[in-house]
Amino acid sequence: MILQGPGKLSAVDVYTGRILWQVPLVDDEIYRAGRRGNDFEKVLAGFHFLAVHDGIYLVHKGRILKIDPANGKQLAVFAPPMAGDTWGRIRVQGDLLIGTVHRKQGKRGTVPAELQVLDRQTGKLIWKHTAEMTIPLVAVSKNTLYCLDGIFEGLFKDWARRGLVPKSDPVRYLKAFDLKTGKPKWKYTTDLVVTWMNYSTENDVLMASNKKGMVAYRGSNGEELWRKYSEGKGFLGHPESYWDRVIVSGNRVIDQRGPGKAYNILTGEPILRRDPITGKDVPWEFTKSGHHCNYAIASPHLVTFRAASAGFTDVESGNTARLQGFRSGCRNSLIPANGVLNAPNFAHGCVCGYSLFTSLAFTHVPRAEMWSYSALKAPETSVKRLGVNLGAPGDRMSPDGTLWLDYPSVGGASPDVRITAKGPSRTFRQHSSLVTARDHDWVASSGVTGLQTLTIRLDKNAKTPRAYTVRLHFCEPENLKAGQRVFDVRLGGKSVLEEFDVVATTGIRRKAIVREFKKVSSTTELTIDLVARTGIPILNGVEIVAED
């Protein structure tokens, strides 16, 4: 793992955190310790760099340094083409190094005036292209180099734009060149003030976006495939970091500008997911809550970001979870790679109410409790499958497809299923590792005591009854003996358990038991009554599955 941070470039072992080597990076004129990345207008808070298997390329004091990943030794220095020039943003594709050259141009100051493609081993110039205006953005495929040519005001000062689309001259071009020869492939004007570009090799699609919209182009010929004008709303964090950036991942474009919907990269049609409660297809969408100041990145299975503490979204389900107790960096530092999730500290210079200057890494532990929240809306049709996890700290999806909602809702946004409780109830919770259960130990680890009636709405518009399978989960958390907690259970007014004693049934405390009842008839809502005989009743969870 190659990290830049105040005054040095470091290589770190991803499995142990051991520092393998460090290289000092000092530039007294324009360098200041920070966490933001690159700004070519003399407000530098870091240096632009990238890493491939045989070289790290870093822009330092206007030059490109090539560094050996194995030991940190400098292998080569590529000077800018002319005195007074500096290298800007760089890319690597195959054996080619692509860089923008920043040059002073009168009143406009220093701008990205030229594009150069070099042999990345020797630094030899292969070809170059001089901007008609400026070239601030570049994207690369195996055979093509794409760039934006236009004049923008303060494009690199994202901290000052606060999520606004920058002012631009009226004419802007998207250009494509043969990567190896520099021969032009196509050139079109664009009405979009593009502030972000990325390319999908798998689908040959060039994505261009800003805060107010996005456009997809066919990479081979520049044909417009689709466009959407939808202003990014953000997620209540620092907007400049992500309001213009979309993520290309597989066949989808994930719009992290907020709301977090996803679209088919070839058609622009919404990506759908199955609503686990109704069984209907609904638009895929992720959400995040809590203060944050970084953007999302994606792997095939996770989208990672800061949402108060560190957070991630499961790509398959769209559900969001938190990694409590620490925060990720002011630029995304939650890196899923090599089978682990690395979280190096990227918070130098920041002050907030979280543990700082802490780097750590995670490995997947299936037994670990992981609670989530989601952007799913209230069911518009009847409930097909639902779990109610009493006293839980958040939602959780079970392997069989049931979404278990926390009640009372404390873990973040959840589908608004109408649930009401009556009685002098009290919630409790313990870790699932303390519970013995065949499965669903995390349901049995929390619950409610003293509950008299629990009512769950299934279909507010239903006119006729429907048959459901209802599973009631019980687990005694206290050190009680048989006979000390005895109660009756009624479903829809009909008695299903009489003088039920959890400890007498299981033989010991903290052992889960599930009672299943089929063909439970219900129209608009299901009512569960608990009637005390001795002590006060207990209930941990309710699972409801429609039978037709």
pLDDT at 29 over 70: no
What's residue 354's pLDDT? 73
Q: Round to whole Å and give the CA distance between 205 and 38.
A: 26
DSSP 235-281: -SS-GGGTTT-EEEETTEEEETTSSEEEEETTT-PBPEEE-TTT--E
Pairing of strands 403-407, 385-390: parallel
Strand, coil or helix: 325: coil
Lowest-confidence segment of 68-72, 158-162, 332-336, 433-437 by average pLDDT: 158-162
Query: What is each CA distance from 269 to 95, 169, 206, 279, in whole angstroms?
Result: 36, 32, 16, 20
What's residue 36's pLDDT? 43
Strand, coil or helix: 441: helix
Lowest-confidence segment of 132-136, 156-160, 171-175, 487-491 by average pLDDT: 156-160
What's residue 127's pLDDT? 98
How much is the average pLDDT of 358-376? Answer: 90
pLDDT at 472 over 80: yes
Q: Is 357 or 543 the better-scoring residue by pLDDT?
A: 543
Point out which residues pair with 321 in neighbouring strands: 312, 372
With cut-offs at 50, 70 and 90, classify the pLDDT of residue 390.
very high
CA-based nearest residue to 545, from 378, 384, 382: 384
How much is the average pLDDT of 161-186? Answer: 91
What's residue 44's pLDDT? 42
pLDDT at 26 over 90: no
What is the percent of the chain with per-residue pLDDT over 70, rounded to a whole number?
Answer: 92
331-366 pLDDT tens trace: 788 999 999 999 998 876 677 777 667 889 999 888
217-248 pLDDT tens trace: 999 999 999 999 877 766 655 544 557 889 99
Amino acid at site 442: W
Query: What is each CA distance from 387 to 401, 402, 417, 541, in whole angstroms?
Result: 10, 6, 11, 7
Q: Round to whole Å and give the CA distance between 317 and 301.
A: 10
What is the fold, at CATH topology level, of the domain defined by 375-546?
A: Jelly Rolls (2.60.120)
pLDDT at 158 over 70: no
Q: Please, are residues 307 and 332 in contact by the beta-carbon 8 Å criterion? A: no
Q: Which CATH architecture has domain 1-130?
A: Beta Barrel (2.40)
How much is the average pLDDT of 410-436? Answer: 95
What's residue 244's pLDDT? 81
CA-based nearest residue to 322, from 360, 372, 376: 372
What is the percent of the chain with per-residue pLDDT over 90, rounded to a whole number?
Answer: 74
461-470 pLDDT tens trace: 999 999 999 9
Q: Round to whole Å and give the CA distance between 293 and 114.
A: 32
pTM of the model: 0.90
Strand, coil or helix: 442: helix
How much is the average pLDDT of 427-448? Answer: 96
pLDDT at 34 over 50: no
Q: Round to whole Å and give the CA distance between 144 and 355.
A: 44
What's residue 155's pLDDT? 76
What's residue 37's pLDDT? 40
pLDDT at 39 over 70: no
Instruction: Say whether 375-546 and 1-130 share the same fold.
Output: no
| Buried/exposed 237-271: b ≥16 CB within 10 Å, e otherwise | bbbbbbbbbbbbbebbbbbbbbbbbbbbbbeeebb
Q: Please, are residues 520 and 542 in contact by the beta-carbon 8 Å criterion? A: no
302: which residues sit within 8 A by CB, 6+ positions away? 312, 313, 314, 315, 336, 341
- Give the residue ranges of DSSP H helices in 385-461: 441-444
Lowest-confidence segment of 57-61, 151-155, 245-249, 535-539 by average pLDDT: 151-155
Domain ranges of the chain: 1-130, 375-546
**N-to-C CA span, the chain:** 52
With cut-offs at 50, 70 and 90, classify the pLDDT of residue 473.
very high
Lowest-confidence segment of 38-42, 74-78, 525-529 by average pLDDT: 38-42
The mean pLDDT value of the chain amounts to 90
How much is the average pLDDT of 48-77? Answer: 95
70: which residues sit within 8 A by CB, 6+ positions away? none
What's residue 236's pLDDT? 58
Pull the structure tokens for residue 229: 């004008």
Q: Round to whole Å and give the CA distance between 139 and 92.
A: 10
What's residue 154's pLDDT? 77
Residue showing tokens 């920070």: 34
